[in-house]
Amino acid sequence: MSKIALLGMGAMGSRMAKALIEAKHTLHIYNVVGNACEPIVALGAKAFVTPREAAVGVDFVIAMVWDDAASAYVWLDPEIGAMQSLSKGAVAIECATLTVEHEARLMKAAEAQDVEFVSAPMSGSLPEADAKTLIFTTGASKQAFSKVEPILMAMGQKINHAGDPLDGISLKLLINSKLALEYAAMAEMIAFLLASGKDAKRYLEIAASTAPFSARGVREARYMLDGNETSRVKINQLIKDSANHIAQCKTHGVPCHMTEAANLVFRKASAAGFGDLDAVALARIYREQTAQYQAA
C-alpha cells in the first residue's frame, strides 16, 4: 500500500479519494474550502491546511482541480505548492483536463525536483467514478507508468498508456472535444425528432443499433428525452476542454471547424445561464429555440 496525497475534494476528487481509501492506501487530502474534506476524513483520510503539507513524505501526489489556475496554485504556488515538498523518486500525477502548455510547466517543475510527472486525465463522469470504472489516458515514462498503474486501477477499470508525459493530456483533449460534438449532435437530433412529431424513443433505439451511433452519445440522447439533467458533465466543462483542444490544434496549424462550432453552441448555452448545468440541458435550449421559431 502507498502513501498518497490527493489535492481537490470536488465531485470527482472526493470519489477518487474514497476509492483510494477503500483500496487501503494511506491518504492525505487538501481542498481550498476545508470543510469539503470532512466526509473523507470520516472515512480515514488526514486533511491538511496546504498542499505543501499534504505532500510531505508521500509516494504519489494526485491533483484533481478545475483549471490551469487552480492546478498552478496547488502544485506551484511558492508559499504552499505541493511540488516543492516532493522528494526524489516520488510521482506527481495530474488528473484534471488542462492545457498542454500548463502541464508542460508542471513537467519541468517536476524534473527540477527529480520527480516523475504523469498526466492521467480520465474518461467518465460521476457514475463511473462511483462504480470505479473510469478510464485513464496516461502519459508517462515506462518506469512511471508501472508505478502509477496500480494506483489508478483503484479508481478505474482501464489504464491506457498514451505515451510520453504530455501525450496523456493531449489525447484527452481530443477525446473531450469529440464528446462535445456528441452532445451537440444528439441535442440537434432530439430537437428534430420532437419537432417533427416522430416517435422519438423508437427512432433513437433504431439509430442506436447502427454503426454511426456511439454508446455514450445514445445514453446522453436518452437522458435528453427523459429530461434527466443530473449533473455529470457540465456545459462550462465542455467549453473549457474543447477550447483547450482548439488551442492545441492551432499550435500545429490544424483547422478545427467542427470543434469550434460545438464550442460556440456551448458558449451560447452558458451565456443563456446554462453553464453550470449538465450538457444534457443543451437539448432544452434546442427545444426552446425550436418553439420560438415555430411560433414566429
C-alpha 193: how far from its chain's center?
30
Evaluate whether 51 touches 7 at the Cβ level (below 8 Å): yes
- Report domain extents, the chain: 3-164, 170-295
Picking from 186, 283, 176, 288, the residue whose alpha carbon sits closest to that of residue 228 is 283
> Distance between CA atoms of 221 and 146, rounded to whole angstroms?
38
Picking from 242, 211, 35, the residue whose alpha carbon sits closest to that of residue 233 is 242
> Distance between CA atoms of 21 and 88, rounded to whole angstroms?
25
> Distance between CA atoms of 56 and 121, rounded to whole angstroms?
23
- The residue count for the chain: 296
**Residue 293's pLDDT is what?**
87
pTM higher than 0.75 for the full model?
yes
**Residue 125's pLDDT is what?**
86
**Residue 46's pLDDT is what?**
98
> Distance between CA atoms of 155 and 135, rounded to whole angstroms?
9
pLDDT, averaged in runs of 10, over the chain (296 residues) = 96 97 98 94 98 98 97 98 95 97 98 97 92 97 97 97 98 96 96 95 97 94 96 94 97 96 96 95 93 86
| 187 grid coordinates | 441535442
Residue 159, helix vs strand vs coil: strand
C-alpha 20: how far from its chain's center?
18
**Residue 34's pLDDT is what?**
83
Quick check: is 201 catalytic?
no
Q: Which position among 18, 172, 234, 240 bears the catalytic label?
A: 172
- Taking the domain 170-295, which CATH number applies? 1.10.1040.10
CATH 3.30.70.890 fits 3-164, yes or no: no
> Distance between CA atoms of 2 and 277, rounded to whole angstroms?
36
